[in-house]
Chain A
Amino acid sequence: MRLYEYQAKELFREYGLPVPKSVLARDPAEVKRAFASLKPPVALKSQVLAGGRGKAGGVALVDRPEDAEAEAKRIFALRIGGEKPTALLVEEGYPHDSEMYLSVTLDRGERSFVAIGARAGGVEVESLSGKVIRKVPVDGIDDKFAEDVASELRLEGSLAAQFAKILLSLEGLAREKECELAEINPIAVGKDGTLLPLDAKVIVDDNALFRHPEFSKLHPEDEFEGEASRQGFAFVRLEGDIAVVGNGAGLVLSTLDLVGDAGGNPACFLDLGGGAQQDRVEAAIRLVNRLPGATRILVNIYGGITRSTDVAAGIRAVISEGGLKPLYARVSGAEEEEARRMLSGTAVKMFKTAPEAVAAVVKGA
């Protein structure tokens, strides 16, 4: 779960990391009031989770109150990666000479967390040169670890001490809050040599949320994503018109590819999970049947532990409720003939292979 910048900065404060003075504003009038309480220049920052916020125009630096309101209106109306902000972070600007980079992140290939530091910042970590990367022990780092990273970056004196302190706090936050990523990009190096983190990106391990009830209320949920997660489905809302349902994440992912290759656009990704029974099939089809924008449904089930006849019975139950959108199904595995017989005479179109079902659903035939 990725946190909004303002939420990440609240965590930073909790862990003793310095951050600029800021106010969260929910509308342009609040932005104007917030502006008045801060020392210009002031940054207005769109609170969205999508990447590429700066490039998309989601950040503005303003000096005058009237500019603050006008820019606020513009940013509130600006969609970034399909996402519209519900709040702006209004933050005191920090004049600085240079920028640095620091993160604690999971290195999947090394099967370890790593600390990454660089004497430049503000760009993607991939394009940073002169990075220092060090494996972080599972039980955390000590002063010496942090000082070693600072000295490897050829930092000296007060800069080195400040950097080491920031790294220690950031690593503590990442470990205790079980983050997959805790990133400061950039850390500003002020004219007087004071380091100040300007941005904050934190992604919490979804699987560890049961140990962190403090995060459970942080996000306004999409209605469908919320319901799907309560039902125990893996669900991602997409922008097309074909709802894609299947059993197994990889199978559904590969079904999205088949749909895309055939020129279609998926409306969602829904993985029923392993061993799904009739009630789960029913719940899933009911859910995607209500999904706005979805005009037809594609079901791709590889029957193994999930029985084809359970899938057919689930589909039949939803049909009996009326109002089912056109449904195209490929159900294979044990008892598939029986499953096909159960659905013959209904409006459901059954196919023997996934490519056949996909071709038909994309054409809408």
Chain B
Amino acid sequence: MILPRRGEPVIVQNMTGRYGRLHTRLMLDYGTNVAAGAAPGKGGQSVEGVPVYDTVAEAVAKTGAKASVCFVPAEFTLAAGEEALNAGIKLLVIITEHVPVRDELRLVQLAQSRGASIIGPNCPGIIIPSQRAKLGIMPAPSFSAGSVALYSRSGTLTYEIAGQLTASGYGQSLAVGIGGDPINGTTSIEWMDHVQGMEDTKAVVVVGEIGGDAEERLARHIQKSGYAKPIVAYIAGRHAPKEKKMGHAGAIIYGDYGTADSKIRALRSAGVEVAATPMEVPALVKKALA
């Protein structure tokens, strides 16, 4: 995975839609170099002074962008993602919620065959405060530069925890929403391995929730790989009912599969400090770094 760096050009897909416009402005305000937009039939328009092209290929040709932030509605996300990956985009951030699972599987396969990475779908994106690079929809004031890597299956909870870390003096080397769907373009294990190699990262905060077994897999991976950096986790959904989708498509417990207790147990047995509430996270980070 190649992470965005200061000033590198980024394109926005469906820039002319309501969210595309709003977040083009907010990303520009933060310092992201939003260099072009793509929206079929909208070529020639501009948003916040940024030119819009009909296709991703044109936008890439004009700007040299390797990264795209996609706000295309779920029905068209597969086509938009294929267009981006086929046009040479190497980091595709898909904000869109409600993308069908089989479309996500096709995009993941295509990204693998193109040597590209996907963040999301159904996520707030990625922010690297030290680079003033925000490819996503997170509110900038919650985040600050520092040495804690934060990744999460939830959007607002990411902001909440980042805000608390920031208020406690712990800035973030990166914060990323990996997505709330059953399928993530980049898995938590892949993030963990990436963060392992980041010199400016001293601790990792993982925010999980009910559903699936990503946290259990992560726990096994941490144990097996002898992960070197301290890890603090928080898992939402200890009081969630079974068999109910709790907002995110991926947040559902079937029988005993996907419970918060199972995840917390697995992470603790791998030596991870697990916070009982989001508010406890900064104190556990402090302890881990002491």
Min CB gap B177→A, angstroms: 9
User: Which residue of the partner chain B has the closest CB to A1?
Assistant: B245
Tell me the smallest distance from the CB of B229 to a CB of chain A, in Å.
23
Query: A254 — nearest CB in chain B belongs to which residue?
Result: B236
Interface size class of B (residues with CB under 8 A): 35 or more
Known: A253-B210, A257-B277. A236 touches B245 (CB 8 A): yes
Interface string of A193-213 (1 = CB under 8 A from B): 000000000000111101100
* Residue in chain A with minimal CB distance to B277: A258
> Do A207 and B98 have beta carbons less than 8 Å apart?
yes
Q: State which of A113, A175, A260, A302 has its C-beta within 8 Å of the C-beta of B159.
A: A302
Whether A257 and B247, one on each chain, are in contact in the complex, defined by CB atoms closer than 8 angstroms, is no
Q: Is the CB of B249 within 8 A of A256?
A: no
Q: Chain A: interface residue count, which band?
A: 35 or more
Q: Is B129 interfacial (CB 8 A cutoff)?
A: no
Instruction: Tell me whether B180 is interfacial, beta carbon within 8 Å.
Output: yes
Q: How far is the CA of A283 from the CA of B42 in the complex (A)?
A: 33
Q: Are A248 and B101 in contact (CB under 8 A)?
A: no
Q: Which residue of A lies closest to B157 (CB)?
A: A250
Q: Identify A210's interface contact among B22, B75, B249, B279, CB under 8 A.
A: B75
Bits for A244-282, please: 1 = Cβ < 8 Å to B, else 0: 001111111110111111000010010100110000000
B251 within 8 A of A: yes
A250 and B152 form a contact (CB under 8 A): yes
Write out the residue numbers on chain B whose beta carbons fall within 8 Å of the beta carbon of A207: 74, 98-101, 249
- Which residue from A138, A246, A332 sits with its C-beta under 8 Å from B102? A138
Query: What's the minimum C-beta distance from A363 to chain B, rounded to whole angstroms?
Result: 18
* Cβ-defined contact, A106 with B139, below 8 A: no
State the majority secondary structure of interface residues on A.
Answer: mixed
Binary interface profile of B, 148-168, with partner A (CB < 8 Å = 1, else 0)?
000011111111100100000
Cα-based distance from A109 to B250 in the complex (angstroms):
12
Complex: how many Å from CA A334 to CA B140?
A: 11
Quick check: A251 and B100 within 8 Å, CB to CB? no
Nearest Cβ on chain A to B158's Cβ, whole angstroms: 8
Query: Are B182 and A106 neighbours in the complex by a CB distance under 8 Å?
Result: yes
Query: What residues of B have a CB within 8 angstroms of the CB of A238 in the complex?
Result: 241
Q: Is the CB of B108 within 8 A of A108?
A: no
Q: Mark B105-140, 1 if CB is under 8 A from A, else 0.
A: 110110000000000000010000000000001110
Closest chain-B Cβ to A170's Cβ sits at a distance in Å of 16
Could you say which of B86-94, B212-220, B282-290 contacts chain A? B212-220
The answer for the CA separation of A354 and B212 in the assembled complex, in Å, is: 27
Query: Are the CB atoms of B101 and A208 closer together than 8 Å?
Result: yes
| Contact of A126 with B by CB under 8 A | yes
B194 touches A (CB below 8 Å)? no
Complex-state Cα separation, A253 to B246, whole angstroms: 7
- Is there an interface contact between B249 and A253, defined as CB atoms closer than 8 Å? no
